[in-house]
Amino acid sequence: MIGALGFTAPWLLLALAALPILWILLRAVPPAPVRRIFPGVALLLGLQDDEQISDRTPWWLLLLRMLAVAALIVGLAGPVLNPRSQEPGRGPLLIAMDASWASAADWPQRKELLERVLSDAARAERPVALLSLTAPEPVRFQAASAAQSRLPGVLPAAWEPVVSAEALSALLPDGRFDTVWFSDDLARDTRAELAALFTTRGTLRVMAGETGTMALAPLRYEAGATVIEARRSLSGPAMTLPVQIHGKDPSGTPRILANAEITFASGAQSAITELALPAELRARISHAALANTRSAGAVTLSDDSLRRREVALFAGREDREGLELLSPLHYLRQALAPNADLLEGPLQDMLPAAPDVVILADVASLSPADEADLTEWVTDGGLLVRFAGPRLAASDVSRSAEHPLMPVRLRAGGRSVGGAMSWGTPKALAPFDAESPFAGLALPADVTVSSQVMAQPDPTLADRVIASLSDGTPLVTRKPLGDGQVVLFHVTANAEWSSLPLSGLFVDMLDRLAISSLAATPEAADLQGSIWQAVQVLDGFGRISEAGTLPGVSGEALLDAPLGADLRPGLYQGEARRIARNVIRADTQLSAATWPAGTDIRPLQTEPETPLGGMLLSLALTLLLIDIVVSLALSGRLRGAVAGILAAGFLGLPVEAQNGDEFALAAASELVLAHVITRNAAIDDTALAGLRGLSDTLIFRTSIEPAAPISVDLERDELAFFPLLYWPITPDQPTPSDAAYAKLNEYLRSGGMILFDTRDADIARFGAASPNGRKLQALAAPLDIPPLEPLPADHVLTRTFYLLQDFPGRHAARDVWVEAAPPDAEQVEGMPFRNLNDGVTPVVIGGNDWAAAWATDMRGNALFPIGRGYAGERQRELAHRFGVNLVMHVLTGNYKSDQVHVPALLDRLGQ
Amino acid sequence: MTTPLPLRHAAEQEAARLPPLLARAEHLAGTVLLGEHGRRRAGMGDDFWQYRPVQAGDSRRMVDWRRSARSDAEFVREREWQVAQSVMLWVDTAASMRFASSKDLPEKSDRARLIALATAILLIRGGERVGLTGTTLPPRRGRAQIIRLAERLSDTQAADYGTPEARAMLPHARAVFISDFLGDITAVEAALTKAADRGVRGVLCQVLDPSEESFPFQGRTIFESVGKSLRHETLKAGELKTRYLDRLAARKDALRHLCRVTGWQFTTHHTDSPAQAALLWLHSALERPA
């Protein structure tokens, strides 16, 4: 083997050594002279040649022959580009595959190579077993063909193999076998021991990727910017990777929110780029992905840790302008601003921005609209936090009956303790219950409450209190409402009624209520005993899919356990937050695999085996042919005829070309009907004959006098010349290119009409029931087609020339679809005005095979029988009438439509 | 010892060639209208020519007394001069004549024979005596002579180039030499001088193949004569063309010059042109007074 070149019979190359001898031999032998009988030789005697030309073969001719012989020898030696290793193996063959996410990027190559190995094994009749190290199963050797049939199901998993050598050896059968290990290129602890295990059982060959693995680390939010970090396993040269940030747009459609580029410095194994995204946008990020790498590692899901909660603050009426410290919102702002995005403004403006939390500070009553919206928002999962205050205490809200947006009923007036006019001292806080969300928070001694609103002692009160004062009166109450909850602080949000807002406890409490951001990664202790449900999971290729009914995962496992079939990478939903478990974690480092010395490592060869022998032999043959011609020419035997034949041989095939200008002239000089070429000769002929018949009918009956119809190639021809395109549908016609579709859409928008004919109304109705119908749907999907409706009885097509109610062709189905009238079309005498496209429907879709009904030969005889007897002829007549109406409809635009509406129009003009 | 069967076969083959040659020659000869008879002047002969008055110097014996008795003057009866011409043919039958450059063309010897025999037929019809030069077939009259001529003309010769036979030429006879004249010109020169010495006038007709006029050869070639006695090798035949053509023209000039000094006439005939042209030319050339 020389580089990527191998020979099937390398010993033949020794014959190349004979070339110099051949050179000498050939040089010694001059070209044979022609012997000619010529009586005039008597006159020639004594004439000498002008030049003393050596009668040896010219060197270039010799070289030509040498090349030919060399090509022959090399060609016969069977050169093969990228030869497959022809290793005759025998005995069972185990194909072990890492099948991890790191293999997903070059999975097609791996699969191709795997197929090749399997087919080689099938040829050698070796039993084969497929072992996926990410999902190890007991190994059973079976026929290679059986393994081949399993091949489509072999897919990379989204995790790395975790099986240990001991666990694996329990799965392996007894006896010896050879192993081919399709490995990814990531370092792994188990690699060496697995290799040792395989080596003890037979020969081991490793097929390893060479390109290195690229992956994305989880997104971080640092100092006002989103940090995207990419890592790679090989510290190669500098390179730039495009990254796409995915998320939902405000309407909920998944989109690419931002594009970025990450540039690895030469030799660096990680690189970061920072992206300054508005909080709005950042909150919507669902995941980031390396644009041109397909693997689970190249996708990183984002969870709540990237989000900053949006908190809407609403204080009702703030009439005390300028008194900042007395503002009910001041302490809230101070507490929340560092790690939440605050919204302030009218409720109606804030609610559509979907805040996570709405805080109402001393708001007694809301407008009915506000209240309804807010209730709906809470029911949908919002968190409403209310603070009491003088206004709430003075109002009648939730006084006699519990207000939906209040957790408890309130007594009138509230109470004040420890004031100048009251007995007693300001109350301190009681320790929090274990069930309270505030459980465990330290109580500063200096927090006192001097005023509060009092809850009515209802039966449900005890359940709703989550914090209380030392005298047992509720300080914070909470009730669920739909999916959301309503929390009421019975004190003000400023320091008027209590010193709570002045203390650090206030911030902690807001934190516990999940009002402020959850920026920190949760600790294992935080997740103790919690169960998390997968919402979205990644597969090995990095595709995100809904998790369905995967079993829940315990919180500790979610944080620490290695990924596997039980813990798939994905997005997990807990009680109040989501945690993303990505393939690459913040601390994962990628490094290239290391193999035990002496391991037989092969690259994933992707170039197909190319035998070059035939090429070289034909080269030799060509050279010899040239040699013949040249030798003939040298010896004067080459006649003009031979040269002529050779010259004729070099002539190319005549090129079929439709000159654009000629086409335009032919199509534009006169009105011309046209059909779309389907590449099915019979259908095309029928379509052309049909349009010819229709053209004749038009000439005989109307003032429309079309020229001979034209077949149109969508790819090549300009469509603008044709008022009507007849498009018969065949299941196997080629789909037009994007350029052709652009042309078609332009055509439709500029007033053209396409008559789609599925030609199968005898067996199928409109829709995807038939192959033609399905093909029509596929063909028409990229077209700019408006909503359709079955041709209504009052449609202008029924009366543009003839009065028609049926539109038969060769078949007589009633299913003919045209552009639907706009729903708000003005009805005049029951007839809606249709204004789009000058009142002309851009498409007519049916399956009646009109062309067959219209088709005539050159003499005007009908080509296809329609129906039976007189009824059939009547049907053909109606088909022609439909054609006339159709062409008339296209050509007259809204004129005919207006004719229908003339009385109404006159009426409008007041005449 | 020759076995009789092949001999007879060969003989029949040879004999079979005669009638076509004869027929073709007759056919060719039939295209020439024989309009001239006699010498149209007084001389030796059998036919009456004219009576003329006796002039001084006429002997008495020359007076035609019967005519003179009918008038007062004396008349001499003159007869038309009727000398039977002897025409001697020499047709080159050497190997160089058996050559045709393509299948569509007749061999040179073929054409030469045809022209010679047709000329002989015409002459014999005209009452001349025709024979071959040399001693094989002396000039005679009559149809049988045509048969004999045809036989003799069908002979072939192994030598590469023929030499004209100039022996046993009748004095003041006519001669027709048909050959390609590509061989040694000295033999032709000798024959013509000898003939001129004997007062023999005649015609040289050079029959050439078109390829001998155009020399359409290229590349490394070995040229061989038909009998393989001569050969010439060249590496570039195309280079030789002009010099060959020069030599051919020189040969023709030499022949023409020879004819002029000996009172002969010379023409060149190509096998790709019709034989009739050559025949007409020969006929009129022979009719010309010596």
Q: pLDDT digit string (tens) for A167-206?
A: 888 888 888 888 888 888 888 888 888 888 888 888 888 8
Across the interface, of A37, A39, A49, the residue whose CB is closest to B236 is A49
The answer, for B173 touching chain A at a CB cutoff of 8 Å, is no
Give chain A's mean pLDDT: 81
Cβ of B215 and A40 within 8 Å?
yes
- B123-146 in b/e form (b: 16+ CB < 10 A) is bbebebbbbbbbeebbbeeeeebb
Contact between chains at A44 and B99 (C-beta distance less than 8 A) = no
Identify which of B95, B209, B201, B103 has the alpha carbon closest to the alpha carbon of residue B156: B95
Cβ pair A106, A211 in contact under 8 A = yes
Q: Do A43 and B251 lie within an 8 Å CB cutoff?
A: yes
Q: Are A308 and A222 in contact (CB under 8 A)?
A: no
Q: What is the mean pLDDT of the segment spanning B262-290?
A: 83
Asked if residues A454 and A465 have their Cβ atoms less than 8 Å apart, the reply is: no
Is residue B36 pLDDT above 50, yes or no? Answer: no
Interface with B, mutate which of A29, A34, A41, A638 (most B CBs under 10 A): A41
Neighbour tally for A146: CB within 10 Å: 15
Q: Does B240 touch chain A (CB under 8 A)?
A: yes
More confident residue, B74 or A908: B74
| Among the partner residues B224, B235, B251, nearest to A41 by beta-carbon distance | B224
Shortest Cα distance, chain B CAs vs residue A624, angstroms: 20
Query: Hey, of A29, A34, A37, which one would you mutate to test binding to chain B, going by the most B CBs within 10 A of its CB?
Result: A37
Distance separating the N- and C-terminal Cα atoms of chain B: 51
Question: Would the pLDDT of A522 be above 70?
Answer: no
> Sign of torsion, CA A785 A786 A789 A794?
negative
Residue of B nearest to A54 (CA): B235
A44:B234 CB<8 A: yes
Q: What is the pLDDT of residues B23-33, one digit of tens each?
A: 777 777 766 65
C-beta atoms of B243 and A51 within 8 A:
no
Look up residue A651 and give its amino acid.
L
What is the Cα–Cα distance from A886 to A224, expressed in whole angstroms? 64
Query: Within the 53-82 window of chain A, which residues sit less than 8 Å (CB to CB) from chain B?
Result: 53, 55
Question: How far is it, in rounded angstroms, from Cα B92 to Cα B20?
Answer: 20
By Cβ distance, the residue of B183, B218, B220 closest to A42 is: B183
- For residues B20 and A10, the model is more confident at A10
For B162, which residue in chain A has the nearest alpha carbon? A39
Four-CA torsion B281, B287, B289, B290, nearest 10 degrees: 70
The nearest CA of chain A is from the CA of B223 a distance in Å of 5
pLDDT in tens, A288-325: 888 888 888 888 888 776 666 778 888 765 555 556 66
Mean pLDDT of B263-276: 89
A525 CB near a chain B CB, below 8 Å?
A: no
* Residue A566: Cβ within 10 Å count: 12
User: What is the pLDDT at residue A698?
Assistant: 92
A436-443: average pLDDT: 81
Report the alpha-carbon distance of residue A670 to residue B142 in Å, rounded: 90
Taking one residue from A and the other from B, the number of pairs with CB-CB distance under 8 angstroms is: 102
Return left, alpha or beta for A537; rule: phi > 0 is left, psi -120 to 50 is alpha, else beta: beta
Residue A821 in this model has a pLDDT that exceeds 50: yes
User: pTM for the complete prediction?
Assistant: 0.42
Which of A252-261, A594-603, A613-622, B28-37 has the least mean pLDDT? B28-37
CA nearest to B250 within chain A: A43
Question: Are the C-beta atoms of residues B211 and B248 closer than 8 Å to each other?
Answer: no
Between A566 and B74, name the one with better pLDDT.
Answer: B74
